[in-house]
Amino acid sequence: MNDRELGRLLRDLPRAAARPGLTEDVLAALPGPETRRSRTVSRRLMLAAALLVVVPLAGLKIGREIETRRARAELARLRSEQQRLAEALRACESSTRTPGDEVIYLGGDDTVDIVFDVDRAARLLRTGAPAAVPAGLGTRRSAPTPASTSGGSR
């Protein structure tokens, strides 16, 4: 069978009639210009809403990451400084302390220096005497006796 015979046989077949309203139903199911435009508008609105949610969240994440990096850098700097200070303290302690020389400088100004004699305080504590005793500038007094602190005459 060749193409001409096939074409003739197909033309001789009875034509099927479409049901009434089929064309209108098919055209109604197709998106028209109004439907396409409304879909475009709704897609744009969804995209804008998604951007309104995503952009601030991304900004927060980036801000937190920056803050975390700053905090880690500050922590590393503080640890380095702590290590440096600990080494300096060890070096200072090993170079300045000798057995029996336990005096700690607490501060002072142009007129007075405040020091704490650890050995003397330890001796006083062992004897039961008060560890802190007011002293005059430049003089060393012994610990007051209970009679002198119990409200004698003024």
H/E/C letters for each residue in the chain? CCHHHHHHHHHHCCCCCCCCCHHHHHHHHCCCHHHHHHHHHHHHHHHHHHHHHHHHHHHHHHHHHHHHHHHHHHHHHHHHHHHHHHHHHHHHHHHHCCCCCCEEEEEECCCCEEEEEHHHHHHHHHHCCCCCCCCCCCCCCCCCCHHHHCCCCC
Residues 89, 47 share a domain: yes
Q: What is the pLDDT of residues 108-139, one digit of tens each?
A: 898 988 888 887 777 777 787 665 555 554 45
Domain shared by 42 and 87, yes or no: yes
- Judgement on whether residues 124 and 107 belong to the same structural domain of the protein: yes
Percent residues over pLDDT 70 in the chain = 75
Structurally, the chain folds into a number of domains equal to 2
Give the domain range for residue 123. 99-135
Whether 59 and 72 share a structural domain: yes
Q: What is the pLDDT of residues 14-55, one digit of tens each?
A: 888 888 888 888 887 877 666 666 777 788 889 999 999 999
Question: Do residues 51 and 82 both lie within one domain?
Answer: yes
